[in-house]
């Protein structure tokens, strides 16, 4: 009996010992899932457990149109995006977005290691793909505000609306320095001036949170569940291509590239930006997507960027000329250049197969794959995706909320630049009286929310009309601002007979460009959409008129100046048209200043502040107040450095870089 009891106890002790060993082993296995461990430890532990297939999958980003839970599980896909207009359904609610993202995420979580995917979207002026979201002015208008603190608040509001739809990652901000308004993406640039673009990178602090002083420089930082990972784009020189052609060649020496196009990247990295997107463009003939010197050498090496580098949409596909297709080489060139995550977005099976082949045949070394995956995991751990992989519905009411629309309205009124006020100093037209017998509103852009918002709104190329999302048109804002007894008459293109038979006190003419995005917006003529010139000529020839230009850049206006009484550059203001009438009718002052030079003729282009041939219609930094006929601030007193010669910018950049790398003590 004693022997039996002894055997039982020995058996129980052995069982307890075995359980403890198994439990300890499981605890070791869970290191990467322990939020109390340092991120670097979690990354190293998880990476050590991953197969080549799992690693390559993390480097893949696909569009939601080809994603499914099974695809996420079977191919270990690391990321999904919504391209412009790629939505769960038409007029999808925030809840629709959350449910879609979570469905895909459940596929990722069902994999062997349960690595969550990261969902990305182009929230470039608010959460612009989403129905009823707040649409802020495009970047060119924000550049006119000269207000970094406003940019922080816009970033905070945008982050909340993006998170409300279950998405933790936005491909913003664009920190291009647009040097030629003929470029179809010029409105995505804050300015032609690198110093102004640097100042506007404070939007990253709004999107991600302010990086703590003790944080390591260059390491991504995202403050919490109400913040998103940001993306500085497009690295580097995308705003300097010849004649402003999209995806083309930027011809400039290294000093010029560093002095004009690089400084904002330094600021973005210092502020903890999580990701950087590579540009479609080339630098002196070499595609940036294949430029190892700049992506690995300068961005990751010199600037010590620790987040992940992502390609643009089908970016590696564009490495080879169209007549020389060689996708395997493109994969090789892009990954070896230093691209960590590839926005494929459709043909993921070929990419996975080609990359696996290149690694197995030692064309791409394993340490390059490990570097890429480590950077991707670092951002995912920093976002705390492993702790909170699934979104809930707690933030759905953040989308389009009034507090965010109020910020957007403030941004609109601060972005407006008054270019002319009266045909003489003694005869100003602005501010407009709210109470008159009858006023005329004319022009194609007065009652068109899509035109007002521009490209990257609901659809990739934007939209026309008032039915695709909610907001206030300029006409609607005028009607709600003027006195109840004022008769507001809207005719898009009034003829001579109509103009002659009505007794209008004044007219507001709203004209400009139609929506466009990327190459579709490239223009050698920069003319306003018809019948804009005719409307200006007809209306302003007979009635005192104020002309409001809705455009993503300066356009041809000089031939019409003599007939215009007052002129306002309103850029692409977004959904909150009330911000325009706030200033037109004198409730607020004009404070905006030109973020870029307004040319006389397109033959002068490219022309930027500091150029030897500088002879603008309105100089960089120009802006009137309604009670003044002189520039509120001149270009040189604006606190913004000129860009030529480059030497001052380069010296500042080099000194800052030395301080950043610890080579210069102050």
- Angstrom CA distances, 275 to 110, 127, 170, 221, 310, stand at 26, 18, 10, 10, 7
Per the annotation, the verdict on 495 as an active-site residue is no
Helices 402-415 and 148-164, axial angle in degrees (round to 10):
150
524 and 602 Cβ atoms separated by less than 8 Å: yes
Q: Is 216 exposed, middle or buried (0-12, 13-18, 19+ CB in 10 A)?
A: exposed
> Do the Cβ atoms of 102 and 95 come closer than 8 Å?
no
Give φ, ψ of 519 to 5 degrees. Answer: -60, -30
CA distance 160 to 396: 9
Q: Do residues 505 and 546 make contact, with C-beta atoms less than 8 angstroms apart? A: no
Helix axes 366-382, 327-337, angle to 10 degrees: 60
What is the total residue count of the chain?
A: 666
Among candidate residues 122, 156, 202, 518, the one labeled active-site is: 518
Contact 607, 597 (CB under 8 A): yes
- Least Cα distance to 380 among 630, 619, 39 occurs for 39
327: which residues sit within 8 A by CB, 6+ positions away?
A: 317, 320, 350, 351, 354
Of all helices (H) and strands (E), which one includes residue 560?
none
**Prior bond to 573 cis, omega within 30?**
no
Is omega for the bond preceding 422 within 30 degrees of 0, making it cis? no
Of the candidates 193, 247, 267, 312, the residue annotated as catalytic is 312
Q: Which candidate, 375, 336, 173, 180, places its Cα nearest to that of 265?
A: 173
Residues 440 and 634: their CA atoms lie apart, in Å, by 33
Measuring CA to CA, how many Å separate 104 from each of 151, 546, 606?
32, 51, 46
As a whole number of angstroms, the distance between CA 609 and CA 536 comes to 29
Burial of 634 (C-beta count, 10 Å sphere; 0-12/13-18/19+): middle
Taking Cα atoms as reference points, which of 142, 77, 120, 158 lies closest to residue 312? 120
312 labelled catalytic: yes
The answer to whether 57 touches 99, Cβ cutoff 8 Å, is: no
Q: Which residues are catalytic?
A: 312, 518
């Amino acid at each position: 009996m004693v022997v039996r009891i002894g055997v039982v106890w020995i058996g129980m002790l052995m069982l307890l010992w075995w359980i403890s060993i198994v439990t300890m082993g499981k605890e070791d296995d869970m290191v990467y899932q322990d939020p109390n461990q340092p991120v670097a430890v979690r990354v190293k532990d998880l990476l050590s457990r991953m197969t080549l297939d799992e690693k390559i999958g993390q480097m893949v980003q696909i569009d939601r149109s080809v994603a499914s839970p099974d695809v996420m599980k079977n191919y270990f896909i690391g990321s999904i995006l919504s391209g412009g207009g790629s939505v769960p359904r038409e007029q999808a609610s925030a809840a629709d977005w959350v449910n879609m993202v979570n469905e895909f995420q459940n596929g990722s979580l069902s994999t062997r290691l349960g690595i969550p995917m990261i969902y990305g979207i182009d929230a470039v002026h608010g959460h612009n793909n989403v129905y009823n979201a707040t649409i802020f002015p495009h970047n060119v208008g924000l550049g006119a505000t000269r207000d970094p603190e406003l940019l922080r608040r816009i970033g905070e509001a945008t982050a909340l609306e993006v998170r409300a739809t279950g998405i933790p990652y936005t491909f913003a901000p664009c920190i291009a320095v647009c040097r030629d308004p003929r470029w179809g993406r010029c409105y995505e640039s804050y300015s032609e001036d690198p110093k102004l673009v640097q100042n506007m990178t404070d939007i990253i602090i709004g999107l991600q949170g302010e990086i703590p002083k003790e944080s390591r420089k260059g390491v991504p930082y995202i403050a919490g569940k109400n913040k998103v990972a940001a993306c500085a784009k497009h690295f580097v020189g995308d705003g300097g291509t010849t004649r402003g052609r999209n995806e083309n060649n930027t011809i400039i020496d290294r000093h010029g590239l560093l002095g004009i196009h690089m400084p904002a990247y330094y600021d973005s990295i210092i502020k903890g930006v999580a990701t950087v997107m590579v540009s479609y463009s080339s630098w002196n003939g070499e595609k940036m997507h294949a430029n190892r010197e700049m992506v690995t050498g300068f961005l990751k090496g010199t600037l010590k960027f620790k987040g992940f580098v992502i390609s643009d949409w089908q970016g590696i596909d564009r490495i080879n000329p169209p007549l020389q297709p060689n996708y395997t080489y493109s994969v090789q060139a892009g990954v070896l250049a230093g691209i960590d995550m590839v926005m494929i977005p459709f043909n993921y099976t070929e990419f996975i197969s080609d990359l696996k082949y290149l690694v197995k045949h030692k064309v791409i070394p394993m340490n390059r794959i490990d570097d890429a995956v480590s950077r991707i995991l670092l951002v995912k751990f920093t976002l705390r995706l492993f702790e909170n992989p699934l979104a809930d519905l707690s933030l759905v009411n953040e989308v389009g909320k009034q507090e965010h629309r109020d910020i957007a309205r403030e941004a609109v009124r601060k972005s407006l630049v008054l270019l002319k006020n009266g045909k003489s100093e003694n005869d100003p037209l602005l501010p407009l009286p709210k109470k008159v017998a009858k006023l005329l509103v004319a022009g194609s852009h007065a009652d068109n929310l899509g035109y007002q918002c521009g490209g990257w709104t609901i659809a990739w190329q934007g939209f026309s009309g008032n039915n695709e999302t909610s907001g206030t048109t300029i006409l609607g804002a005028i009607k709600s601002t003027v006195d109840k007894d004022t008769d507001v008459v809207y005719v898009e293109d009034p003829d001579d007979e109509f103009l002659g038979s009505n007794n209008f006190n004044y007219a507001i003419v709203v004209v400009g460009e139609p929506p466009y995005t990327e190459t579709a917006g490239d223009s050698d003529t920069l003319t306003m959409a018809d019948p804009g010139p005719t409307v200006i000529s007809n209306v302003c020839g007979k009635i005192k008129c104020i002309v409001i230009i809705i455009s993503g850049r300066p356009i041809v206006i000089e031939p019409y100046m003599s007939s215009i009484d007052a002129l306002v550059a309103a850029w692409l203001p977004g959904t909150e048209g009330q911000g325009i009438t706030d200033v037109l009718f004198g409730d607020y002052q004009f404070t905006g200043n030109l973020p870029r030079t307004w040319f006389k003729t397109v033959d002068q282009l490219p022309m930027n502040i500091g150029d030897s041939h500088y002879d603008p219609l309105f100089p960089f930094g120009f802006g009137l107040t309604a009670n003044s006929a002189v520039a509120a601030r001149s270009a040189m007193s604006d606190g913004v450095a000129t860009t030529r010669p480059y030497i001052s910018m380069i010296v500042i950049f080099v000194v800052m870089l030395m301080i950043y790398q610890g080579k210069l003590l102050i």
